[in-house]
Amino acid sequence: MRNNDFTSEIEALRHQVQNLQDQLALFQEKVGLPSYRELFERSADANLVIDGDTFVDCNESTVKMLRYANREELLQTHPSELSPEFQPDGRISYEKANEMMALAFARGSHRFEWSHQRADGEVFPVEVLLTSVPLGNRNVLHVAWREITERKRLEEELRHAHKMEAVGKLAGGIAHDFNNILVAIMGYADILKEGVADRPELAEDAGEIIRASERAAKLTAQLLAFSRKQDLRPEVVDLDVLVGNLTGMIRRLIGEDIEMVLNNASVPLPVKVDPGQLEQVILNVVANARDSMADGGTLTIKTTRGAKLGTNGVDLPAGRYVSLKFTDTGSGMDSEVIARAFEPFFTTKERGRGTGLGLSSVYGIIKQSGGDVRIVSHKGHGTTLEILLPESTEPLSGTRAPESDSKSGTLGNEFILVVEDDEAAARLITRALEREGYRVMVAHNGDDALTLAEQNSWSFDMVLTDVIMPVMSGPVLVARLRQRMPDIPALFMSGYTDDVLERQGFSIEDVDLIRKPFSPDRLLSRVRTFLWRRSSER
């Protein structure tokens, strides 16, 4: 009997609300205004009326948003049924909802974000506006919900982009300082190895130092790749051909217990990338897929042309893109791991099994090449990683001969001005050049270099200078030297990332630059080649 009385009261209240709405509609019709009912129904936002803990009315947008069959079914639900048990901040939805409604009654209105639940169980975010409206001797709540799923997605992408940018800047700074240290470690270890060639055990020890420093240099290169500041040498290559040429290495990398399926586009897929770096990207992704399939499985590699994206492509301008997909049947990733997959040093592997730089370098190289990387994965159901690269309209490049790192075999006799503010690096460079027969004078800043040039009658055959130094930068120094020696060749060296160099007004495309860290052999090869090329141009 009491339930029947309650139902009668609800029906009476609904009739009362309808009567008020009808009266308002008549008034608005007389003065030429749209009716409240029309505004209520036509709103794209969900609109509801709540009295106490009961739904009194709602519009069609509410029904669609919550995916109920009809308005009547929705109005029969209790408000607590439309929220998950807990909100994102960990609070119980029922308790927090009562607090939000109390604030709305106290203030007149209250706006906040909330997680609601559709009829099929899907939880989604909304912005809620509660407004207290007098009705007779009490107040009811007018409720407006605006779904903000897309806004939340964009906010999360922006936060992620800012985080990656900040970590990238940190990585670039660490890489620069580490590169300067490695110049001395690699160089002196190389000299030591030659000096103890007649003592195999000591030569092997020196060799271990060299190999360890080379591994450290590779880690530095991965950090620079993540920060998108690596020195890339882009060429127009056929992605399909590049992937095909790597199949033998990929099969050896994944082992016999993993089947590889290659789905080629069988048409040219021209992309402008650094071929060596893209090969490293592919091998890093393959290694990651292999590690996720500890008990064997299948790795499918697919290339596709003609993926055309509009301006709504994530982090990509409108245009045509080539797709490279890797799909494995491994352990998969949950949403939390996916969100951190590209962070440097983040890994789910056991301690000592990985550096956490594989996917971060993939991310950096592809981003620096104008593309994007996307991951779709579910825990226990494998992973698909897709690389998108802009399709190039330029002709394919010819084969580029690799630059030799070996010694030239010819002793030099040129007079070289070395300008390096790091004393350990300066000593190493001087020693390496003098052993090869070059005459060397060292300055630790630009002012000292100008003084030495004047004292030696401006007679240097070339200048080898760091880019960023105290007192005077390398480019400014070279400009000053060329006032007296217009034809002096200048070879720059730096461990800084491209963005730092560009902020100093240094264009890496217009100069000769050797990147730190470098071995003595690498330095000598560059100096010899540089001097030979300059002499042949005269």
List, in sequence order, every beta strand (DSSP E) within 378-422.
Answer: 383-390, 415-419
Domain boundaries, the chain: 43-147, 152-226, 235-390, 415-537
Alpha carbon separation from 453 to 440, 443, 470 (Å, rounded):
12, 10, 18
Looking at domain 43-147, its CATH class is alpha beta
Q: What is the arrangement of strands in the sheet containing 462-466, beginning at the earlier edge strand?
A: 439-443, 415-419, 462-466, 490-494, 512-515
Closest CA to 95 of 118, 49, 87, 106: 87
Instruction: Show the DSSP H helices in 412-459 as ranges.
Output: 423-435, 446-455
**Fold assignment, 415-537:** Rossmann fold (3.40.50)
- So what's the pLDDT on residue 401? 40
* Sequence-distant (≥ 6) Cβ neighbours of residue 57 within 8 angstroms: 14, 17, 40, 48, 49, 75
- So what's the pLDDT on residue 215? 74
Calculate the CA dihedral of residues 339, 342, 344, 349 and round it to 10 degrees.
Answer: 80
Cβ neighbourhood burial of 465 (10 Å; 0-12, 13-18, 19+) = buried
What's this model's pTM, rounded to 2 decimal places?
A: 0.47
Cβ contact 383:367 at 8 Å: no
H-run or E-run covering 297? strand 297-309
Instruction: Show the DSSP H helices in 52-148 as ranges.
Output: 60-66, 71-75, 93-107
Please tell me the CATH code under which domain 235-390 is placed.
3.30.565.10
pLDDT per residue rounded down to tens, the chain (538 residues): 455 665 676 667 667 766 766 665 665 555 544 567 777 888 889 999 998 888 889 999 999 999 999 989 998 888 888 999 999 888 999 999 999 999 999 999 999 999 999 999 999 999 999 999 988 888 999 999 999 998 888 887 777 777 666 766 666 666 667 777 888 888 888 888 888 888 888 888 888 888 888 777 776 766 665 554 555 678 899 998 999 888 888 888 888 889 999 998 878 899 998 887 888 889 889 988 998 898 899 999 999 986 566 544 456 777 889 999 999 999 998 888 888 888 766 676 655 455 556 787 788 888 888 899 999 998 888 999 999 999 988 888 764 444 444 444 445 789 999 999 888 889 889 999 998 899 999 999 999 999 999 999 999 999 999 988 888 989 899 999 999 999 899 999 987 766 667 766 677 666 788 888 888 888 998 898 888 877 666 5
What gap in Å lies between CA 465 and CA 474, rounded to an integer? 6
What gap in Å lies between CA 371 and CA 10, rounded to an integer? 59
Closest CA to 465 of 406, 417, 516: 417
Cβ contact 383:332 at 8 Å: yes
- So what's the pLDDT on residue 328? 94
H-run or E-run covering 478? helix 474-484
Closest CA to 224 of 184, 174, 288: 174
- So what's the pLDDT on residue 67? 93
* Sequence-distant (≥ 6) Cβ neighbours of residue 272 within 8 angstroms: 234, 235, 236, 237, 369, 370, 390, 392, 394
| Radius of gyration of the chain from its Cα atoms, rounded to whole angstroms | 34
Per-residue buried b or exposed e for 157-183, using 16+ beta carbons within 10 Å of the residue's own CB: eeeeeeebeebbeebbebbbebbbbbb
- So what's the pLDDT on residue 408? 43
